[in-house]
Amino acid sequence: MVAKGENVVTVSLAGLAAGGACVGDVRSPAELEGKKAFVPFAVPGELVQARIVRNKKSYIDAELVSVLSPSEHRVPPPCPAFGACGGCDLQHIELGTQRVLKSNMVESLLRTHGGVEATDGLSVLGADLPGFRYRRRMSFHINKKGEFGLYRKHGRSIVELSHCPIATDAINDFLAENIALLRGCAPEIETVTVEDHGGVVYVALEVHPRNGNALDTLLLKESFLELERRAPHLRVHYRHRPIYPAAALMQGAPPVGHFSQNNEAANALMLEHIASLIQTEAVTDLFAGAGNISIPLAAAGHRVTAVELDPALVSFGRERAQQAGVSDRLVFHSMSCEKWVSACVPDASVVLDPPRGGALEVCQRLNSEHTRSVVYVSCYPPTFARDVQALCERGYRLSSVRVLDMFPQTYHSELVALIEAA
CB 348 within 8 A of CB 371: yes
List Cβ neighbours of 242 (8 Å cut-off, separation of 6 or more). 204, 235, 236, 250
Alpha-carbon gap, residue 217 to 206, rounded angstroms: 14
- Catalytically annotated residue among 88, 363, 379, 392: 379
Give burial (CB, 10 Å; 0-12/13-18/19+) of 222: exposed
Choose among 198, 84, 194, 206: nearest CA to 138.
Answer: 194
List Cβ neighbours of 27 (8 Å cut-off, separation of 6 or more). 9, 10, 11, 12, 33, 47
**Across the strands, what pairs with 152?**
85
**Across the strands, what pairs with 307?**
286, 333
Choose among 370, 354, 360, 346: nearest CA to 421.
Answer: 370
CB 394 within 8 A of CB 364: yes
CB 394 within 8 A of CB 116: no
> Measured at the alpha carbon of residue 186, what is the angle toward residues 181 and 187, in degrees to the nearest 5?
170
Task: Clarify whether 379 is annotated catalytic.
Answer: yes
Choose among 258, 264, 356: nearest CA to 308.
Answer: 258
List Cβ neighbours of 182 (8 Å cut-off, separation of 6 or more). 140, 142, 148, 175, 189, 192, 223, 227
Give burial (CB, 10 Å; 0-12/13-18/19+) of 356: exposed
CB 98 within 8 A of CB 409: yes
Which helix H or strand E contains 142, and what residues bound it?
strand 137-142
Which helix H or strand E contains 176, and what residues bound it?
helix 169-184
Alpha-carbon gap, residue 12 to 46, rounded angstroms: 6
Amino acid 223 reads: S
CB 309 within 8 A of CB 337: yes
Among all residues, which ones are annotated catalytic?
379
